[in-house]
Structures are given as C-alpha cells and as structure tokens.
Amino acid sequence: MKRMQRMKRIAVTHSLRGRLLWFLLAAITIAAVAQASIAYRTALQDADQIFDYHMQQMALSLRSRVPLANSEEATNVDTPVAGNDDLVVQVWSPDGVQVFKSVSHARLPQRAVLGFSNVRANGTTYRIFSIQSNNQTVQVAQDLAVRRSMASNLALRTLGPIAVMMPILMLVVWWVVSGSLEPVARVRKQVASRQADDLSPVSEAGLPDEVRPLVQELNLLFGRVRTAFDAQQHFVGDAAHELRTPLAALKLQVQSLERASDNPEARRIAIGRLTAGIERATRLVEQLLVLARQEASAAGGAPRQPVDLAGVAKRAVADLAGLAQARSIDLGLQRADSADVEGQPDALMILARNLVDNAIKYTPNGGTVDVSVVADAHAVRLTVEDSGPGIPPEERERVFHRFYRVPGSDAAGSGLGLAIIKSIAERHGATLALGESRLGGLEVTVTFPA
C-alpha cells in the first residue's frame, strides 16, 4: 500500500497537467488572498475616513445651530441626536460650562483637544473631533469598537466578489488546462493502442505548436524503425534463399566424398570441390554479414567525420596485396590525392575493399588492377580499373541488385559486392558509375562531393 501511494505521488509530481494545475491554482489562491487582504485594509481605511468626515460635518453643523445656554440649564440639556445613536455630542460655553449633551451613558472628559484625538474612557476608546468658535466648543465622539464593527461590515462586502470569482476562475483554469492537454492524451492513446508491428505515422491533426514537433520526430523515428524492419526482413529472406543453394551443394559434395572413399583420385577431386564449396559459403556469409552491418548502420544514423579517402584506398590496397600477389596480379595505387570526405570510416573502408576485391576476383591471373584517388575543386573520385572481362552495357544496371551475377561469369562470388558498394555510396551522397577501363576491363568510379 505504501509503495502504491509513493508511486501515485511520483506520478502526480511528474504530470504536466498536475503541475500546471497545482501552480496555477496556487497562484490564483495567493493572488485572491493578497487582493482580499489589500481590499479589506483599503475598505477599513476608507470607512475611517468617511466616519471622520461625518463627525467633522456634524460638528460644523452643530456649531451654528446649538444656542448658548447657562449652567443652570445644563442640568437637563440631554437631547437625542436623531439617527446617530452611535455618536456622542457635547457643547461647552467659553467659560467651560456644558450647555448641551446628547443622550448617552458615555462620560467623556470635560477637556477637549481641538481636531481629532483618541480618548480612553468608560473601558473603551473613543474617536473625538472637537471644534471651537467664538461662543462655544463642540465635541463629537464615537466609540471605536462600534466604528470598527461598522467598518468591518462594509469591508467584508468588498470580499464577496473575490470569494465568488476565485472558485469560478479555478474552474475555468481547470477546464482550459485539461482541454489544452487533451491532444497529448489523444496521441498517448493512439500510441498505446497500437500493435507492435504498427509503425504508421501518428496523426498531427489539431495538435498545438508545442506538441507537433514532438509528434513529427516520433513519426520520423517510426519511419527509421520501419526502414530497419523492412531491411531486416529483406535480409533474412535473401539470406535464407541464397544460403539454401550452397548448403545443398555442400551436402552433395560430402556425399560424393563418402562414395569416393576407396578411390584416391576421386577422393582428391571430391575434397577439392568440398573445399571450394566451403570457401564460397564462407564468402557468402561474410558478404551477408557485411550487408547486414551496413544496413543497420544506415538505419541507426552512425555519426560522420572527415575521412582521408586516399588513406582509405592505400589501406585497402595493402590489405589485398597478398591476394593479388597469389594470382600474379599487378595491383597498384596509381594516384592518391589527399582529400577529405564527410563519412563513416568503417563504411568507406568496406567500400574500397569491395571495389578492389571485386576487381581482383574478376581479373585473370597475371592481369592488372589500378586504383586512384583524384581530387579537384568540385569532387573527389575513387576509381578502380581492371583488365578482366568487364560487364556488358546492358547488364550494368542489373549488377547492382542483390545476388545478381552476370551470366557466364566463372568467378566465385555471391552477387553482393556491388550491391554493398552502391548502398554505402548512396548513404554518403556519392554517385557510382561503371564504364570501360583503359586496361580493357571494367572501370568503377565513385564520385564524392568536395
């Protein structure tokens, strides 16, 4: 139970909707309390000013209306002031005799301080205003407790609209935030309801500008994953199809070897065929692995960096020099201009190795293979030429297809070399062209933008 409560608290904390509502509602509450406090204090101050003005006006009006009386008349001068039971009015003659007093139980001091003052009497505090003329002194007093009660009632009335508007504003904010985040919930439901193999784009209809880029990137990710899945499916299908033939051939060759166990010459021939079949199967598996690695790299978007193409060509020639020497093929680097291209070093190394390896494989013993890297202001060209049979012009487009081999070709191969080369070249924005070599065979040129 405690774990579930902790998970719920974490979920609320990390909820965008919850955080927005929490901060907005808290801000509304704080603003309402601050506004109510300011309004209440302002209302009290305004009420005090109004009461003071009322006392002042009453004193000024009484100064001209109350007649001067003698001390004998002062004993029964208590007269009510209509409509002002909360006020106490007293009038004195110039010699200090009280000539008028409103009906009240309050006993105020005989001494008056002109203007406004606060006086403690009868267990309470009075607000007093006194004014003096030539023939009398008028004093108007009000119990501060009564004044504060009346002022508080007036001030509380100003809080009514705030108390009503605050919950209404909270409900409006709740509705706006929930409605604004509804597209996010809709996208979540779309993604959550999908099957594992459903990589179709998520609808962007009605999404706010802040959410649309996220959905667009999500759709791009779905596209990359779909490309990777498609490539994987194609690879698995192609590999299963192409591996079936060499494995069946190996099985037949093993059976031939068993039948030739009593004939040394037949056994030698069978062993040679089995060895050649194993080499072809090994070569096919290697090419399939290279193709799978390149497709995974293309789908994953491996980072690029400046690569010295001349250095890549030199390493490829050095790696395959032993293979060329075994067949007495003249393999050489004719030109190596220093030039950098933006790309993936491993992929460019595979491209160069496959170009040179294909040239060696299809060149007869004692032939020639030339490699060159030429750079100018516009492009960098990697060219591999050989003195082999070449490829007829009508077959030059088809040789880029996977597992396609030129009819009548005797060289061992899987038909993946040029397909791998073309895939890497396209991923680097390069163009691949086949032509006639000056050596009499095939010329393959890969042109990279400078």
Does the pLDDT value for residue 407 go beyond 60? Answer: no
Residue 17 lies inside a defined structural domain of this protein: no
- All residues at 6 or more sequence positions from 110 whose CB lies less than 8 Å from its CB, including other chains: 92, 96, 98
Of 237, 269, 301, the position where a domain reaches its end is 301
Residue 430 lies inside a defined structural domain of this protein: yes
Residue 155 lies inside a defined structural domain of this protein: yes
Residue 140 lies inside a defined structural domain of this protein: yes
Please indicate, yes or no, whether residues 211 and 273 belong to a single structural domain of this protein. Answer: yes
Please indicate, yes or no, whether residues 438 and 318 belong to a single structural domain of this protein. Answer: yes
CB 144 within 8 Å of CB 127: yes
What is the pLDDT, as a whole number, of residue 420?
Answer: 74
Q: pLDDT by residue (tens digit) across 220-257?
A: 888 877 777 776 776 666 566 556 656 766 777 777 77
DSSP string, 139-204: EEEEEHHHHHHHHHHHHHHHHHHHHHHHHHHHHHHHHHHHHHTHHHHHHHHHHHT--TT--PPPP-
Please indicate, yes or no, whether residues 109 and 238 belong to a single structural domain of this protein. Answer: no
Of the pLDDT bands very low, low, confident and very high (cuts 50, 70, 90), residue 180 is: confident
Spacing of C-alpha 93 from chain mean position: 86
CB 278 within 8 Å of CB 249: no
CATH number for the domain including 402?
A: 3.30.565.10
Q: pLDDT by residue (tens digit) across 94-151?
A: 777 777 777 666 667 666 678 888 878 777 788 888 888 778 888 888 888 887 887 7
Please indicate, yes or no, whether residues 83 and 117 belong to a single structural domain of this protein. Answer: yes
Instruction: Report the candidate in 417, 414, 407 with the shortest Cα–Cα distance to residue 386.
Output: 417
User: In one letter, which amino acid is 288?
Assistant: L
Torsion sign, CA atoms 320, 439, 336, 293: negative
What is the pLDDT, as a whole number, of residue 70?
Answer: 42
Please indicate, yes or no, whether residues 326 and 435 belong to a single structural domain of this protein. Answer: yes
- All residues at 6 or more sequence positions from 128 whose CB lies less than 8 Å from its CB, including other chains: 108, 112, 113, 116, 117, 118, 119, 139, 140, 141, 142
Residue 224 lies inside a defined structural domain of this protein: yes
pTM of the model: 0.45
User: In one letter, which amino acid is 282?
Assistant: T
What is the pLDDT, as a whole number, of residue 123?
Answer: 75
- The owner of tokens 């000539």 is 99
Please indicate, yes or no, whether residues 288 and 363 belong to a single structural domain of this protein. Answer: no
Q: Residue 312 is part of which domain span?
A: 302-450
Please indicate, yes or no, whether residues 155 and 233 belong to a single structural domain of this protein. Answer: no
Which of 50-54, 287-291, 440-444 is least confident?
287-291
Residue 150 lies inside a defined structural domain of this protein: yes
Of 301, 329, 355, the position where a domain reaches its end is 301
Of 245, 273, 301, the position where a domain reaches its end is 301
Does the pLDDT value for residue 85 go beyond 50? Answer: no
The overall average pLDDT reported for the chain is: 75
- Return the SS3 of 418: helix
Does the pLDDT value for residue 412 go beyond 70? Answer: no
Q: pLDDT by residue (tens digit) across 335-379?
A: 888 888 888 887 788 788 888 888 888 888 889 999 999 888 888
CATH number for the domain including 227?
A: 1.10.287
> Which DSSP symbol is given to 395?
G
Residue 186 lies inside a defined structural domain of this protein: no
Residue 184 lies inside a defined structural domain of this protein: no
Please indicate, yes or no, whether residues 222 and 142 belong to a single structural domain of this protein. Answer: no
- Return the SS3 of 281: helix
Q: Total structural domains in the chain?
A: 3
Decide which of 227 and 75 is more confident. Answer: 227
Round to whole Å and give the CA distance between 204 and 190: 11
Round to whole Å and give the CA distance between 252 and 350: 33
What is the pLDDT, as a whole number, of residue 103?
Answer: 63
Q: pLDDT by residue (tens digit) across 150-160?
A: 777 777 777 77
What is the pLDDT, as a whole number, of residue 12?
Answer: 45
Please indicate, yes or no, whether residues 353 and 283 belong to a single structural domain of this protein. Answer: no
Please indicate, yes or no, whether residues 292 and 310 belong to a single structural domain of this protein. Answer: no
CATH number for the domain including 51?
A: 3.30.450
Please indicate, yes or no, whether residues 314 and 295 belong to a single structural domain of this protein. Answer: no
Please indicate, yes or no, whether residues 349 and 271 belong to a single structural domain of this protein. Answer: no
